[in-house]
A = this chain, B = another copy of it.
């Protein structure tokens, strides 16, 4: 039997980030379907709505079944034009906003572009400051700024510190530094001295030896650095260190950067400085 094919549209007045996030999480619950996904951000005029309604109808005819449409459209006229197309619409605002107006006993603003628009300059500056901080304090290059860190991630080379720091900065406005644990400190089973004053800010990353080996192979194939034996030794050492010094840590094998970041936020009790707050 051939796989089901479905065309999916994400329609939004602005970025489409909300429509995509919500649609994506629903689609991942259905296996074995080939999705043809089409992002339509900035669908903000009646003319564009006519155009996209026509394209949706054409897709329905071509596919032999109606497209799925995830919509965060707010404008009533645009919504009603799309609603006349041959599609199954999941309308995120339409579904919930009426009930919320009732619950909160006030009308909604009905304004577009609020979820991912610029809220205010101070939030923008916080975010830029966190990104700059994180870039300047990547890979232990300038430990003199660790006073200003919200958190300092530690782990051996290629344990995922940099992407996690960047995600924390970009998504949550957190000033995240990182410091690589190196072989030199192994024998003594201790932290580099310069981290001593910041022990309460440390959060460790670890991962499976197979994963670390794979990642290091990409970088320096068949080196001692990438060998299973070397990876195993460094991982054993860092986990002993985390346990001995009571540094909270997380095994990042098979989890995404989003999950790692959320777990770290959750376990460290850090306050996010942006988004949803």
A contacts, CB < 8 Å to B: 4, 6, 10, 14-18, 20-26, 28-33, 37, 39, 41-42, 68, 72, 88, 90, 92-93, 95-97, 99-100, 103-104, 106, 108-111, 113-119, 121, 124-125, 127-128, 131, 135, 138, 162-163, 166-167, 170, 214-215, 218, 254-259, 262-263, 266, 275-277
Whether B16 and A115, one on each chain, are in contact in the complex, defined by CB atoms closer than 8 angstroms, is no
Whether A108 and B30, one on each chain, are in contact in the complex, defined by CB atoms closer than 8 angstroms, is yes
Whether A18 and B25, one on each chain, are in contact in the complex, defined by CB atoms closer than 8 angstroms, is yes
On chain B, the residues within 8 Å of A31 by CB distance are: 109
- Closest CB of chain B to A2's CB: distance in Å? 14
Q: How far is the CA of A23 from the CA of B97 in the complex (A)?
A: 11
Q: How far is the CA of A93 from the CA of B24 in the complex (A)?
A: 12
Q: Top 4 nearest A-B pairs by Cβ distance?
A: A25-B115, A28-B114, A29-B108, A116-B258
On chain B, the residues within 8 Å of A276 by CB distance are: 10, 20-21, 23-24, 37, 39
On chain B, the residues within 8 Å of A127 by CB distance are: 163, 257
Whether B259 and A21, one on each chain, are in contact in the complex, defined by CB atoms closer than 8 angstroms, is no
- Looking at the complex, which one of B21, B125, B163, B266 makes contact with A21 (CB distance below 8 Å)? B21
- Looking at the complex, which one of B15, B32, B114, B162 makes contact with A29 (CB distance below 8 Å)? B114
Whether B162 and A166, one on each chain, are in contact in the complex, defined by CB atoms closer than 8 angstroms, is no
Whether B170 and A111, one on each chain, are in contact in the complex, defined by CB atoms closer than 8 angstroms, is no
Beyond A104-B4, A276-B24, whether A30 also contacts B68 by CB under 8 A is no
Q: How far is the CA of A26 from the CA of B104 in the complex (A)?
A: 12
A-B contact pairs, 10 of them (CB 8 A): A29-B110, A30-B104, A32-B106, A41-B263, A42-B263, A116-B256, A118-B255, A119-B256, A163-B170, A170-B170
On chain B, the residues within 8 Å of A259 by CB distance are: 14-15, 113, 116-118
Whether B24 and A115, one on each chain, are in contact in the complex, defined by CB atoms closer than 8 angstroms, is yes
Q: How far is the CA of A25 from the CA of B114 in the complex (A)?
A: 7
Whether B30 and A106, one on each chain, are in contact in the complex, defined by CB atoms closer than 8 angstroms, is yes
On chain B, the residues within 8 Å of A218 by CB distance are: 125
- Closest CB of chain B to A103's CB: distance in Å? 5
On chain B, the residues within 8 Å of A103 by CB distance are: 68, 88
Q: How far is the CA of A103 from the CA of B70 in the complex (A)?
A: 13
- Looking at the complex, which one of B22, B104, B119 makes contact with A6 (CB distance below 8 Å)? B104
Q: How far is the CA of A197 from the CA of B223 in the complex (A)?
A: 35
Whether A262 and B41, one on each chain, are in contact in the complex, defined by CB atoms closer than 8 angstroms, is yes
Q: How far is the CA of A96 from the CA of B90 in the complex (A)?
A: 7
On chain B, the residues within 8 Å of A166 by CB distance are: 131, 166, 170
- Looking at the complex, which one of B28, B96, B170, B257 makes contact with A167 (CB distance below 8 Å)? B170
